[in-house]
Amino acid sequence: MFIGAVIAWVLTAKKPQLAKDAIVPVSSGIIAGVSIMGVVMAFINNMLLA
């Protein structure tokens, strides 16, 4: 999270309009992707490796 916050801060300083348009959608996509991978890994762990 710290690295993401630093990237957002730098992007906001360098290109404020791009930051305004992109930070929330990109962050949401990363969070959703990690959540989906957690479900997939739980399925693999419980069904295929058990």
pLDDT in tens, 11-34: 999 999 999 999 999 999 999 999
Task: Tell me the C-alpha distance between 10 and 5, whole Å.
Answer: 9
Per-residue model confidence (pLDDT) at position 50: 72
Per DSSP, the three-state class of 39 is helix
Read off the pTM: 0.72
Task: Tell me the C-alpha distance between 11 and 7, whole Å.
Answer: 6
Q: What percent of the chain shows pLDDT beyond 70?
A: 100
